[in-house]
Chain A
C-alpha cells in the first residue's frame, strides 16, 4: 500500500504528457475524422527540435515551448495543405495512407540525418525533486503536469471562445453546412492539423527533460495516445485530458500489481472495452 500513493502521483504526471499528445490527436480526429498515423513521428521530430535547440543555444526546453509550438503549428498547417489534402481525394483510406507515408518519411529521414543514437539532455535541475505526501516527484515531471493542465485549459478556451474555435466546431459538426455559411473548410482543416502538431511540440518540450529521443521514440506514445483519445471520446478535449490522466494512473497501478509486461495489457483491455461498450468514450457526445 505504501507504494500506491507514489505510483498514483507518478501516473498522474505521466498521464499529463499523454493528455497533451492526445489533445492534438483528438483535435485532428474530431474535425478531420482521420486517424493520424504520423502523430508519433511528429512527436519524435519535435523531441529532436527541442534537443538541437538546447544543444545549439542552451535554451531551456520549457522556454522553447512557445517557439516550437509556433514552428510546429506552421509545419502541421503546411503538411495538411500540401500533402494530406491533395492526396486525400475525399477518401479516408487515402488520408490514412498519406499519414502513414509521412510517418515513414519522417522516421527514416531522422535516422538518415541524425543516426539512431539515443540522445538526452541533462538539465541542472533534472534530479531535483518535490516531496508530495512522502513521494518524490521529479521537478521536471511536476512542471510537466501543471504545464499540461495549462495547455489543455488554453486550448479549451480557444475552442469555446474564439471565432476560430467556433469555426472548428462548426466544421466538426457539419462540414457542408459550414461551407455554406462561408467558412473556408480547407483552411480550418489545416488549422486543426497545425494546432494538433503544436500540441505535439508542447508535449515534446515537457517530455525531453526526463526522457530521450531516438528515431523510433514516437511509437512508444502512439498507441497510448490512440487509447487516450478513444477513452475520452474521439474529438473531446476534456475527454482527452481526463483520459490521459486516467490512463497514466491505470498504467502505473497495473504495472505495480500485474508487472510492467502484462501491465500494458491493462491499457489495451480498457481500450477494447471502451470501444465495445461505450464507443463514444467518457465524454463523447455522438456515436459513430
Chain B
C-alpha cells in the first residue's frame, strides 16, 4: 500500500518539471522538498527513536554555516565545503546527543535542551566574526555546476528529489534493519530495551548523529540555493518548527510521512494565500486553523491514516 504510494510519488516527482517549466512552480517544489528532507531528518530521531527535538535548527544552521564559511573564507570548493557541512551537522548532533543522553534527558527535557542549544548557536553566530556576525554571510554568485550553483532550476530540483528519495530509503532501512529495530525498541520502552541487551545510549547517539547529518545536508543545500545566511535564517526557531511540522502532519515514524506532510503543509500555505487575499496574516490564520483541524481528525498523520484505512 505505502510502497505503491512511494512509487506513485516518485513518478509524479519526475513528471513535475514536465508539467510546467514555470519557475514559481519549480521553486515551490524545491522549497517543499528541502523541508521534506529536513522533516525526514527529524523523523529519524523523533519518529523512529522517540526523541523529540525542538532544536533541529542547530544542525541545519551548522551545516549551512560550515559550507558557507569554508568556501567564502577558505576558498574550499563548494562541493567539498558541503561535505564539511554535512559532517559538521553530524558532529554537533552527536555532541549534543552525548551530553543530553549521558545525563538521561528524555521527553520534554530533551526537547527543551535542544531548543536551548539552538538558541545559544543563534546568539553566538550573531556575535562572532567568522560567521559575519550580524551582517551575515554572502556566498558570491558563481553560476556553474562546479560551484554547486546550478544555472538551471530543474537541476536543483532533481538534486532535491534525489535527496528526498535517499531520505525515504534511510527511513525504509530503519524499518528493515537491526539498528532500526533497536531504535524502535528504545522508543517503545527504554528500560525494556536495555533489559534485552540493547545498548540504548549508543543507539540513541547513532540516531541523533544520523538525523543531524541529514539536517546539516538540508542546511548545505539551503546555503547553495539562497547564497545568504544570517543567524536568524540559519538557527531561527522557525527552522526547528518546520522540521517537526511535516512529519507530525504526514505521519510520525513512517517513511513517507515527512514528504506527504511537507507537500500538504506547503500546498496549504499557498492555497491559504490564494483564498484570503492581501490582508497580512489572514492566510496564516487559515493555515493554523486547518492545521489544528487536521490534527483533530488525523491524529496519526496522513500516512498513518492511510495505513489504517488500507488494513480495513
- Residues of B in contact with A (beta carbons under 8 Å apart): 46, 52, 99-100, 103-109, 111-113, 115-117, 119-120, 123-124, 126-127, 237, 241, 245, 248-249, 252, 279-285, 287-289, 291-292, 295-296, 299
A120 part of interface (Cβ distance < 8 Å): no
Q: What separation, in Å, do the CA atoms of A253 and B114 have in the docked complex? A: 25
Stretch at the interface among A131-139, A203-211, A275-283: A275-283
- Among A254-288, those with CB < 8 Å from B are 261-262, 264-265, 268-269, 271-272, 275-277, 279, 288
B112 cross-chain contacts in A, Cβ below 8 A: 35, 226, 230, 271, 275
Q: Which residues of A contact B287 (CB under 8 A)?
A: 104
Report how far A271 CA is from B249 CA in the complex, Å. Answer: 30
Decide yes or no: A261 and B108 within 8 Å by CB, A105-B285, A271-B116 being known contacts. no
Q: Is the CB of A93 within 8 A of B123?
A: no
Instruction: Give complex CA distance A277, B288 in Å.
Output: 37
A33, A93, A98, A108: the one contacting B52 at CB < 8 Å is: A93
Contact of A108 among B99, B113, B282 (CB under 8 A): B282
Of A33, A93, A279, the contact of B252 (CB 8 Å cutoff): A93
Distance between Cα atoms of A29 and B108 in the complex (Å) = 10
Closest chain A CB from B249 CB (angstroms): 8
- Give me the interface of A with B, judged by CB distance under 8 Å: 29, 33-35, 83, 86-87, 89, 91-94, 96-98, 100-105, 107-112, 115-116, 215, 219, 223, 226-227, 230, 234, 261-262, 264-265, 268-269, 271-272, 275-277, 279, 288
Q: How far is the CB of B45 from chain A (nearest CB, A)?
A: 13
Q: Which residues of A contact B245 (CB under 8 A)?
A: 97, 100
How distant is B287 from chain A, measured CB to nearest CB, in Å? 7
Query: What's the minimum C-beta distance from B253 to chain A, rounded to whole angstroms?
Result: 11
> Within the assembled complex, what's the spacing in Å between the Cα atoms of A109 and B280?
9
Known contacts: A35-B108, A83-B292, A87-B295. The answer to whether A104 contacts B284 by CB under 8 A is yes
Q: List 13 A-B contacts (CB under 8 A).
A: A92-B107, A98-B295, A105-B285, A107-B281, A108-B288, A112-B282, A226-B115, A265-B120, A268-B119, A272-B120, A275-B112, A276-B105, A288-B108
Q: Considering the complex, give the chain B residue whose CB is closest to the CB of A271.
A: B116
Further pairs besides A104-B291, A272-B113, A272-B117: 20, Cβ < 8 Å: A87-B296, A93-B252, A94-B248, A94-B299, A98-B292, A100-B245, A102-B288, A108-B284, A108-B288, A109-B281, A223-B115, A226-B112, A262-B123, A271-B116, A275-B113, A276-B99, A276-B113, A288-B106, A288-B107, A288-B108
CB-based A-B contact count at 8 angstroms: 124
Contact B282 A275 (CB under 8 A): no
Contact B123 A261 (CB under 8 A): yes
The one of A89, A103, A105, A271 in contact with B299, judged by C-beta atoms closer than 8 angstroms, is: A89
Q: Which residue of B lies closest to A262 (CB)?
A: B127
B292–A112 CB distance below 8 A: no
**Shortest beta-carbon contacts, A-B, top 8:** A111-B281, A104-B288, A108-B281, A105-B288, A108-B284, A89-B299, A112-B281, A101-B292
In the bound complex, CA of A93 to CA of B108 (Å): 10
Residues of A within 8 A of B281 (CB): 107-112, 215
- Cβ of B104: which chain A residues have Cβ within 8 Å of it? 279
Contacting pair A264 B109 (CB below 8 A): no
Residues on A with beta carbons closer than 8 Å to the beta carbon of B241: 100
Give CA–CA (A169, B308) in the complex, Å: 38
- List the A residue with the shortest CB-CB distance to B111: A35
User: How far is it, in angstroms, between the C-alpha of A93 and the C-alpha of B109 when the chains are bound?
Assistant: 14
Alpha-carbon distance A33/B292, docked complex (angstroms): 19
Q: What chain B residues lie within 8 Å of A104 (beta carbons)?
A: 284-285, 287-288, 291
Q: Note all chain A residues with C-beta closer than 8 A to B292.
A: 83, 87, 98, 101-102, 105
| A86 neighbours in B (Cβ, 8 Å) | 296
